[in-house]
């Protein structure tokens, strides 16, 4: 289990939403005319609508203690009529973040609720929405040139969360029968943070199910980078060829694993 508290998640959601709000307010050409290169086809307005809609969607799940899937139009429909001006988007983002963190705090981490992966507790949504909001704060920072970093404990937690999703049976099921094989003899990956002690992840793809651990071992492919860049690499915001990312061994296996283990991002 992760060591990040429920309250810390809620605080981080608010803080990262504030960063996105600042980007919306500061966009020189206006958010509707400012493209987001890391989200192809989206403007800053659409990014803000996605984040604000996602917060409201998750808040509804938590507030109602949903026992099954909730329609996610608010998450997906980023081009429908909605707040447009920087002031309106700013206020709308603030309201969504407050609605979400208020619902999370009122429910508490152990309340039962529907989740998109095994958990069934509100803590899942606090964690998921923290890393979702952080990722999109990074997207906005890349647009405005604002500094961006993930705090060590939260970066470790984001990587742990990714590993958990990447170990789900759906990673293999979603690929289809004609996809290149992900698992096989000798297939392992090792991620090593260069700016923190004992921050390592070993992914075992030699058989099924896929497993992972915090271990230091030789692997088919090894990746060394600062924690923030490891998080951004997995989310497709850094390339393996980036100056801060060192890759040793089978880079194609790394690319395949990142693509497959991120299946849930496309749902």
21-61 pLDDT tens trace: 999 999 988 899 999 999 999 999 999 999 999 999 999 99
191 to 88, 137, 182: CA distances (angstroms): 41, 24, 17
Distances (CA, A) of 166 to 17, 66, 174, 240: 26, 25, 12, 19
d(CA 104, CA 61): 10
| Structure-model confidence comparison of residues 170 and 225, the more confident one | 225
Output phi, psi for 198, to 5 deg.
55, 40
**Domain 156-266 sits in which CATH superfamily?**
SCP2 sterol-binding domain (3.30.1050.10)
Q: So what's the pLDDT on residue 170? A: 80
- Predicted confidence (pLDDT) at residue 178 exceeds the cutoff of 90: no
- Each residue's pLDDT tens digit, 204-261: 999 999 999 999 999 999 999 999 999 999 999 988 877 899 999 999 999 999 999 9
CATH homologous superfamily for the domain 6-148: dinb family like domain (1.20.120.450)
Tell me the Cα Rg of the chain. Answer: 19
Provide the pLDDT for residue 36: 96
Cβ neighbourhood burial of 194 (10 Å; 0-12, 13-18, 19+) = middle
Work out the percent of the chain whose per-residue pLDDT is above 70.
Answer: 97
Residue-level pLDDT at 266 = 57
Residue 173 in this model has a pLDDT that exceeds 80:
no
* Domain boundary assignment for the chain: 6-148, 156-266
* CA–CA dist 223, 237 (Å, integer): 15
């Amino acid at each position: 289990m992760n060591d990040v508290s429920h309250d810390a998640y809620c605080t981080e959601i608010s803080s990262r939403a504030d960063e996105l709000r600042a980007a919306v307010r500061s966009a020189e050409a206006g958010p509707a005319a400012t493209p987001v290169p890391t989200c192809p086809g989206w403007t800053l307005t659409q990014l803000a609508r996605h984040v604000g809609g996602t917060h409201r969607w998750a808040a509804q799940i938590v507030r109602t203690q949903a026992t099954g899937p909730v329609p996610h139009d608010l998450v997906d429909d980023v081009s429908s009529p909605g707040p447009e001006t920087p002031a309106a988007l700013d206020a709308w983002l603030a309201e969504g973040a407050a609605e979400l963190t208020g619902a999370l705090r009122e429910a508490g981490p152990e309340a039962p609720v529907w989740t998109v992966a095994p958990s069934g507790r509100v803590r899942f949504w606090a964690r998921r929405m923290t890393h979702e909001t952080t990722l999109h704060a990074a997207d906005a920072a890349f647009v405005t040139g604002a500094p961006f970093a993930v705090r060590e404990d939260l970066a470790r937690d984001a990587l742990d969360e990714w590993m958990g999703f990447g170990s789900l049976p759906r990673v293999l099921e979603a690929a289809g029968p004609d996809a290149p094989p992900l698992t096989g003899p000798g297939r392992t990956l090792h991620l090593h943070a260069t700016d923190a002690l004992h921050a390592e992840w070993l992914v075992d793809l030699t058989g099924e199910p896929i497993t992972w651990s915090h271990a230091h071992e030789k692997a088919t492919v090894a990746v060394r980078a600062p924690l923030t860049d490891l998080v951004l690499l997995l989310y497709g915001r850094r390339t393996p060829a980036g100056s801060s990312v060192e890759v040793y061994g089978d880079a194609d296996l790394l690319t395949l694993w990142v693509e497959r283990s991120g299946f849930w991002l496309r749902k």
